[in-house]
Amino acid sequence: MGQMATDRATGSAAQRAATDGQAATRIKSYAPATGDLLGDAPNTTPAEVRAMVARARVAQQAWGALPIEERCARVLRFRDAVVDRSDEVIDLLVRECGKPKHEALLHEVAVVADLVTYFAKHAPRILRARDVPLHLMKQRRSTVHYVPRGVVGVISPWNFPFQLPLRDVLTAVIAGNAVVLKPSEVTPLIALKAKEIWDAAGLPEDVFQVATGYGPTGAALIDAGIQFLVFTGGVSTGRRVAAACGERLIPCLMELGGKAPLIVCADADLERAARGAVFGGFSNSGQVCISVERVYAHAEIHDRFVDRVVELTRELRQGDPSRASVDLGAIIFPQQIEIAERHLADAVAKGAVVRCGGRRVDGPGQMFEPTVIAGCDPTMTVMTQEIFGPIVPIMRVASDDEAVRLANDSHLGLNAYVFSGDRDHGERLAERVQAGSVLVNDVLSNAGCPEVPFGGIKQSGFGRAMGDDALRDMCDPKHISVDRVATSRDPLWFPYTDGSYAWFQRGLRALYSGSGLVRRVLDLF
């Protein structure tokens, strides 16, 4: 553990060296659950990134010109290969992330397989050119076409190193783009495994490329001539990345941090709410952007709810993530343990009570006990800042209104959860909570729904990663307008005359004031 922390620190030094232009040529990957060195990957230089983007641009021409049905059929070959080789992928995910086998299977591999299946079936409909009837210029016919943007850059984090990048890579390539992916420095091997499977499935090598490296490799990708960037990561890096995109006028999608509140109403099914808090708080050891990060429990049920959450948490089995009967594995990024300890110390100093857990587990490996703290309040950082670790902080509230007010008192707004025995009441509360997605009587599940938009408001980012619009966002909408009737003269063109001015003035009134009779007549056609 100590050795690994030192080696990780060396990684940071390598990042600084890379920034200084004295780039380390390889980055190392360690198993967070054991500390073992797993392998290494290239530290891709800016010149190499530019060359990748140039190759992607060439490959995109042919790929984007294929009929969409053909692109979908080919991407399904990649899905089939992933499923065929799922044991290999799951094994690497378990080793490189220290996440439990179940989660590698369900939250990474299965989510990717399902996303491809959905978009391969529906992309031809979603991206079909559509006629747009013009409400005024009846003499013209307008069509909107969805044209691939070109080369899409994807920069992704370490917590879901298979599902998150492939979600964006695969929607981009189905839409007809080529992609260069910069994965997190902490999990380069799983990204290279995805690339190996892509190539082995016979898909065009330059349509999907992987540039492993540190932050400067990601910065180089933004500067290498891409047409769109999808960034998933923390708020502070996201701010820098969005600024870099802004300078170059590159459109971007930002999927940033979360601080998901879970509201437990007095009428909630307490067993389901407690299990939801435990699963939502400790899945992937809390390293999920939509983890349950703070709980507001109604005073009427607070004590019973907390007791049940503590009982269920004590039953969790933490340890070797390669065993199917383990619930919690390791902390992927060592600094997350220090962040968890800082939040915990602040909460305890301000009066919170640690009801279970609260300590890092002795090595080997980076593990932190699943921790429940009660008696929390909004002065504690654990209730206001992203934890990204296995801590569930709980606060007692007097009413649902207080819960909604506190839930909304945040700079983040990715996911939120409401538990109520009355679905209508739950839905009404959900409408008042400020977040990109709100689930009633459930947690986390929207990350596995490719049909619906996924993303945040406030500083959780902008743009959406799933849903039909995400596929369209991988394209430039192109408007083509064609005349319906041939005329040599257009009354809107030159020459301007007193007569035409008077005519248009009457037209303005007829169309936009009074009874709107003319407008209603036009609407008939």
Q: What are the catalytic residues? A: 255, 289
Q: Is 414 in the site for ligand NDP (CB under 6 A)?
A: yes
Beta carbon nearer to ligand NDP, 8 or 298: 8
Using an 8 Å Cβ cutoff, are 301 and 269 in contact?
A: no
Q: Which of residues 425-484 bind ligand NDP (CB under 6 A)?
A: 456, 461
Task: Name the minimum Å distance from CB 338 to ligand NDP.
Answer: 13
Rounded to a whole number of angstroms, the minimum distance from the CB of residue 213 to ligand NDP is 6
Structure tokens belonging to residue 177: 């783009």
Contact call for residue 264 and ligand NDP (CB under 6 A): no
- Which residue, chain included where needed, has tokens 């399902």? 114
Nearest approach, Cβ of 412 to ligand NDP (angstroms)? 9
Positive/negative CA dihedral, 468, 471, 476, 478 = negative
| CA–CA gap between residue 337 and residue 362 (Å, rounded) | 12
Q: How far is the CB of 435 from ligand NDP (least distance, A)?
A: 12
Residue selected from 189, 226, 289, 407 as contacting ligand NDP according to rule CB under 6 A = 289
* Contact of 478 with 145, CB cutoff 8 Å: yes
Under the criterion CB under 6 A, does residue 14 sit at the interface with ligand NDP? Answer: no
124-183: contacts with ligand NDP (CB under 6 A): 155-159, 164, 182
Beta pairing partners, 41: 27
Answer for the pair 211, 52: CB distance below 8 angstroms, yes or no.
yes
256 in contact with ligand NDP (CB under 6 A): yes
Site for ligand NDP, residues 208 to 227, rule: CB under 6 A:
214-215, 218-219
Cis peptide upstream of residue 42 (ω within 30 degrees of 0): no
Q: Kindly tell me which of 86 and 336 has the beta carbon lying closer to ligand NDP.
A: 336
Q: Which is nearer to ligand NDP, 163 or 177 (CB)?
A: 163
Pairwise CA distance, residues 524 & 68, whole Å: 35
Other Cβ atoms closer than 10 A to 83: 14
Q: Is 386 in the site for ligand NDP (CB under 6 A)?
A: yes
Contacts of 76 (CB under 8 A, 6+ apart): 116, 117, 120
Contact 185, 29 (CB under 8 A): no
Per rule CB under 6 A, is residue 286 in the interface with ligand NDP? no
Closer by beta carbon to ligand NDP, 87 or else 338: 338
Q: Which lies closer to ligand NDP via its Cβ, residue 16 or residue 130? A: 16
Residue 366 and residue 30: Cα distance in Å, rounded?
A: 11
For the bound state, the minimum distance from the C-beta of residue 273 to ligand NDP, rounded and expressed in Å, comes to 23
Minimum gap (Å) between residue 114 Cβ and ligand NDP? 17
Tracing tokens 């080696």 back to the chain, one arrives at 7
Residue 363 token pair? 């090595």
Which residue's Cβ has the minimum distance to ligand NDP? Answer: 218
CB 163 within 8 A of CB 108: yes
Binding residues for ligand NDP, per CB under 6 A?
Answer: 155-159, 164, 182, 184-186, 214-215, 218-219, 232-234, 237, 240-241, 255-258, 289, 386, 388, 414, 456, 461
